[in-house]
């Protein structure tokens, strides 16, 4: 399956793994890259030297291209940009902010830049700033989200810009991938499906919650502040929604969410964990290797695309 995205990143399949904070480590990123997709390491809010260890580990696990996801709310963003350049990474993906000021130095160093965007206006800004491609992420996604759905966002972004568009949000199988390509996307990014990968090092509690989730088991907290975060229903999300209803401050909600993602991923903390996942979790029932996931999705999408061509 060749698109401008496979050419751009020198990968076999246009399948990109979400750069999930606290989740996307060397084990997962290398497994996705080895499977022919593009793995991403999560910069999250880690200092550069910690992320460097993950990069070196990933380089031991794969000789295929992989990238670093920089979450722009992190105080270490500038250091992570320098790190990506020093380590000659092939791509930097960004989320939760505007990466424009980092694009010239990354491009000069030959690092491809892939911003995640939630609207047409920001997509246009990113193209102008020199991004190589964008991920158009709908609000079906887990984690920090915008307001647009994938179905409405992707074709409007495709019409608005000339660089390749990758669809994200609500995609977990070949049907979602085929649909994304029909909308004009040239690849997909998936987070939730990879939460159920064998190489994904999250707590058993977290993985089981994803496998057990139904279509309506996620909620969005923080929306009143224009900073929505989608996670699976849990004691904490219930508490957060209650706090929000009672007029809690944004900082209170945000601080609680950030730290609780770590508690969900690294500890079996059902009470205080924030189990970020997308609406498509209801479709994910099985723990499989990254290779099985990537191949199954691509082959199913190819079959569907042939059937309707």
**Closer CB to ligand TUI, 146 or 273, in the complex:** 146
Q: Nearest residue by C-beta to ligand TUI?
A: 143
CB of 130 to ligand TUI, least distance (A): 14
Distance CA 166, CA 5 (A): 8
Distance CA 291, CA 270 (A): 29
Strands 218-221 and 229-232: antiparallel
CB of 24 to ligand TUI, least distance (A): 11
- Which residues of the chain form contacts with ligand TUI (CB under 6 A)? 21, 71, 95-98, 116-118, 122, 125, 137, 143-146, 229, 254, 257-258, 261, 276
Distance CA 162, CA 256 (A): 39
CB of 97 to ligand TUI, least distance (A): 5
**Closer CB to ligand TUI, 96 or 293, in the complex:** 96
CB of 9 to ligand TUI, least distance (A): 18
Alpha helices (H) along the chain = 4-9, 26-34, 48-61, 77-86, 103-108, 120-129, 150-160, 174-182, 192-195, 204-212, 235-245, 250-266, 290-307
**Closer CB to ligand TUI, 118 or 170, in the complex:** 118
**Closer CB to ligand TUI, 254 or 292, in the complex:** 254
Distance CA 67, CA 21 (A): 14
Decide if 179 contacts 188 (C-beta within 8 A): no
CB of 200 to ligand TUI, least distance (A): 16
Decide if 32 contacts 194 (C-beta within 8 A): yes
**Closer CB to ligand TUI, 33 or 192, in the complex:** 192
**Closer CB to ligand TUI, 90 or 231, in the complex:** 231
CB of 272 to ligand TUI, least distance (A): 14
């Amino acid at each position: 399956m060749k698109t401008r995205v496979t050419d751009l990143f020198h990968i076999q399949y246009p399948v990109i793994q979400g750069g999930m904070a606290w989740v996307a480590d060397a084990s997962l990123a290398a497994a996705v890259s080895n499977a022919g997709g593009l793995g991403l390491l999560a910069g999250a809010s880690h200092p550069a030297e910690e992320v460097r260890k993950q990069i070196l580990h990933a380089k031991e696990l794969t000789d295929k291209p992989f990238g670093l996801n920089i979450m722009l709310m992190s105080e270490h963003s500038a250091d992570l940009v320098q790190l990506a350049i020093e380590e000659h990474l092939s791509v930097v993906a960004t989320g939760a902010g505007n990466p424009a000021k980092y694009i010239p130095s990354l491009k000069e160093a030959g690092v491809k830049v892939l911003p995640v965007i939630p609207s047409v206006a920001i997509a246009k800004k990113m193209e102008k700033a020199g991004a190589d491609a964008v991920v158009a992420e709908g609000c079906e996604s887990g984690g920090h989200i915008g307001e647009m759905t994938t179905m409405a966002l992707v074709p409007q972004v495709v019409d608005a810009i000339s660089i390749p568009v990758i669809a994200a949000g609500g995609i977990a199988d070949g049907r979602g991938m085929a649909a994304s390509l029909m909308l004009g996307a040239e690849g997909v990014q998936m987070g939730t499906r990879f939460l159920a990968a064998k190489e994904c090092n999250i707590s058993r509690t977290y993985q089981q919650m994803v496998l057990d989730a139904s279509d309506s088991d996620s909620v969005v907290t923080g929306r009143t502040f224009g900073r929505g975060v989608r996670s699976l229903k849990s004691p904490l999300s219930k508490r957060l929604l209650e706090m929000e209803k009672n007029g809690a401050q944004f900082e209170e909600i945000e601080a609680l969410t950030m730290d609780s993602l770590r508690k969900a991923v690294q500890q079996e903390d059902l009470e205080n964990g924030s189990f970020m996942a997308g609406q498509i979790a209801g479709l994910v029932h099985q723990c499989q290797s990254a290779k099985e996931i990537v191949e199954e999705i691509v082959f199913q999408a190819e079959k569907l695309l042939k059937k309707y061509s």
